[in-house]
Structure 1
Amino acid sequence: MNEFDRLVEAQLKTMDQLLDLQTTLERYQIAFRTGEDVAEKILDTKQQLQGIQELFEIQTKQIIESFERDQAVHT
């Protein structure tokens, strides 16, 4: 498996995490009425979501750079 394929596979896994966390966050926000327990879960999930979004952006840059390197080698 070349670097580009490996990076794309990693990003797809990250995207799954991103979607799962977004779904979880939406579920918590819908269920939110009162209580610090739910508020803490929302805050924790938002922090996780931010981390995954940052990782996704880094992976996107890596994929683009890998693709551009591959294109430069093959042209």
Structure 2
Amino acid sequence: MDHFNRLVSEQMATMEKLLFLQAELERCQQIEAELQALQNETDLESIQADIQQMKKELKEIQAMFEKQTEEVINSYREMNLTQTI
């Protein structure tokens, strides 16, 4: 009977360790998932910041292009006026 009780006690201790490790594993996996989500969120914020910066630069370049177009048109008009006179 003592042998049986010792085996059951060892098995219960092993079961306790098993349950503890399973709970720890689940907890760590949850933390891992949260950290990955935060990392993705950080990446998303970084990409969104890049997009906003590029949109700003695009507007500036579009404005510059429009100004240059106007200058080209005005120069062409002046050239034609000078040549026809």
**Structure 1 unaligned regions, length at least 5:** 1-32
Aligned residues: 43
Query: TM-score, normalised to structure 2's length?
Result: 0.48
Name the amino acid aligned to 1:66.
S
Q: Which structure is larger by alpha-carbon Rg, 1 or 2?
A: 2
Alignment of 1:47-58 (within 5 A): 47-58=56-67
Higher relative contact order (CA 8 A, sep 6+): 1
Let me know the Cα RMSD of the aligned residues.
1.4
Percent of aligned positions with the same letter in both sequences?
A: 30
* Structure with the bigger percentage of helix: 2
Give the corresponding residue for 1:64: 73
TM-score, scaled to structure 1: 0.55
| Uncovered stretches (5+) of structure 2, i.e. residues with no partner | 1-39
